[in-house]
Amino acid sequence: FLLGYTFLGSVQIMVYAGGVVVLYVFSILLTSGEGDRAEKAKRSRLLAGLSTMIAGLAIILFITLKHNFMQTANLAPLEINIHAIGNALLSSDKYGYVLPFEAVSILLLACIIGGIMIARKR
């Protein structure tokens, strides 16, 4: 049974993005009541959010436009077995993925704690 790194990366992104979305939905459901009304955002917070969004979009566009996708598109997809993928995920050497995997785990943990804290305020 052979899989490539592109499959592994897409599955990992879908699982973690889905987990974060589910946590957001649960936090909204736990904190909203029948008579709750949203407050109008202050102008300073609106500008801070807008500037953060524009900066994030600029970074994403810069990285996307600077990467040479055509050069890597000519390569044939590599087929790697599950054992090699597991070793790559759990190794901490130069090409290991244990650090990004743990960083995303900490992100999910922060989302869970944030959801619990929002629910406890109610």
The tens place of each residue's pLDDT in the chain, 122 residues long, gives: 455 667 777 777 888 888 888 877 877 777 666 666 767 778 898 999 999 999 999 999 998 888 776 665 556 666 667 777 777 777 788 777 778 778 888 888 887 787 778 777 65
Q: Of 50, 28, 52, which Cα lies nearest the Cα of 41?
A: 50
Domain count, the chain: 1
Tell whether pTM > 0.75: no
Contact in structure between 25 and 115 (CB atoms under 8 Å): no
Structural domain including 15 reads: 1-33+79-122
For residue 122, give the DSSP letter.
Answer: -
pLDDT at res. 88: 75
Determine, yes or no, domain membership for 10.
yes
Rounded CA-CA distance 5/121 in Å is 42
Is residue 57 domain-resident?
no
13 in a structural domain:
yes
Which residue, 112, 116, 119, is CA-closest to 20?
A: 112
**What pLDDT is stored for residue 87 in this prediction?**
79
**Which are the contacts of 104, defined by CB distance < 8 A and separation ≥ 6?**
12, 16
Give Cα 52 distance to the centre of its chain. 17
The answer to whether residue 29 is domain-embedded is yes
